[in-house]
Amino acid sequence: MTTKIVIGLDGTENGERAIAFAKDLAGRIGACELLVVYVIEWSPFTFQTPEENALRHKRREEEIELATSRIVEPAVQALKSEGFAAYGIVRHGDVAETLNAITVENDGSQIIVGRASADGIKKRLFGSSTQYLVMHADVPVTVVN
């Protein structure tokens, strides 16, 4: 049975540290697939006209395309060039919930993310996606510092 490790990227050096940890872990495990995931924060709750919603859908598709080409594909290609079995997914949604859902859908056994901290009022109002993920994920979560 192949172990699937999900790596949550955020486009920063935190993601690079998560990738490095996942590579080390995968090397120790052996038969392992790495799933590189980037979640674009997206709220479905808005009050817009049908025209605005159509533009929003177009913008959403453009964001997925950009995140795929700029963040996920380069990470996947780098992993493959080092001999790892890797593939990627980009999706819109709540970061923690979507990352967990993708992990469950793909039979992932662990999630690895880099520590990113919200500061001040943002953290008090919205909380931390990483904190929420650690508390509510269906699989173990490793947070890399």
CATH number for 33 = 3.40.50.620
What angle do the packed helices 95-105 and 129-136 form, to 10 degrees?
Answer: 40
- pLDDT-derived band at 122 (thresholds 50, 70, 90) equals very low
Say if residue 97's pLDDT is above 70: yes
Cβ neighbors of 31 (< 8 A, separation 6 or more) are 1, 2, 3
Instruction: Quote the number of domains for the chain.
Output: 1
Residue type, 107: D
As a whole number, mean pLDDT of residues 124-130 equals 61
What angle do the packed helices 13-29 and 73-81 form, to 10 degrees?
Answer: 30
Note the pLDDT tens digit of each residue in 66-95: 999 999 999 999 999 999 999 999 999 999
What range defines the domain where residue 97 resides?
3-144
Q: In what order do the strands lie in the sheet with 141-144?
A: 85-93, 32-41, 3-9, 110-114, 141-144
Mean pLDDT rounded to a whole number for the chain = 88
